[in-house]
Amino acid sequence: MASVAVLSRLGHKKTKRSKMILVTGATGFVGTALIARLLADGLPVRAAIRRESALEKFKVETAMVGDLSAETDWQEAVANVDAVIHTAARVHVMSDGASDPLMEYRRTNLHGTLRLARQAAEAGVRRFVFVSSIKANGEATSIGSAFSADGPTAPVDPYGVSKLEAEQALRELATKTGMEVVIVRPPLVYGPGVKANFRTMMSIVARRIPLPLGGIAGNRRSMVSLDNLVDLLTSCVHHPAAGNQTFLVSDGEDLSTAQLLKRLGQAMGKPARLLPVPASWLERGASMLGQAHVAQRLCGSLQVDISKTRDLLGWTPPISVDEGLKRTAEGYWREASV
């Protein structure tokens, strides 16, 4: 059974407050930054957490809900909540050891999300902001032909399929209940504390290890800094035009793989050492090793069109790619010094 533990903010007396914003995935990469931003904006926040965690620094209300599934009880967590920002998910992994990956992704990303949304609607929640993924659109684009918010969707892997299915279920629920649903599909998210492949790339650049990626200069890939994503999610909570819409998000500047590495190296103070190996050689070698999907991410393009986000919400990415990389590098060096 979920229980809500109230943690009073230091130096503040208890007063009657407006309805809460519930953030799921509160201890995650996006959730942690999102809570910090909402608090900085003076908004009341409740953090949904799976188990005891180090949220004391935020001094927010917490709701212990356990794992995200079709059986999770959200009733106390969504009580007196105006909006939910749902960042919790079974995230995409390169090598999934599950015997049925799609079933596992559906268990969390589809059925778990729908359980939360239904109980939120029953509790009178006004708006449900769902952090989906650009993988709902697909895996790749051609140069100059970007994914769009309302364009075709063709997910390739189980993660992308589960996210798109969740979107579809949420739209149907919105129609039946009147709760507004906002869907945000980010591409690769980077920022202080980033993990996985981006963190590995930073470690390689920091150690000045040569990379055979200098020839990958003709592709273009969209990314979004953590600060830009959090800014948009915050906007989607209250903006009157956001209800029942789907938005794509990026930094507004697409980079080739070589450009990204060069600018990351500049941000880190460690110029990237890039060898000019032709992309075709890398793609051929990767295919021979059964790693064609890796070559696709390095050599291929994935661009998103954020014109709808700009036009409908009047939103512009508040920080540039270079500023986002600078903040990411600073976070990396802080962690490295501990």
Residues taking part in catalysis = 159
**Helices and strands counted in the chain (H then E):** 11, 10
What's the number of CA atoms in the CB half-sphere (13 Å) around residue 269?
Answer: 5
Contacts of 30 (CB under 8 A, 6+ apart): 87, 131, 189, 226, 229, 230, 233
Rounded to whole angstroms, how far apart are CA atoms 195 and 202?
A: 10
Contacts of 202 (CB under 8 A, 6+ apart): 194, 264, 268, 328, 329, 332
| Long-range interactions of 46-52: CB distance < 8 A, separation 24+ | 46/4, 46/20, 46/21, 46/22, 46/77, 46/81, 47/22, 47/23, 48/22, 48/23, 48/24, 48/74, 48/77, 48/88
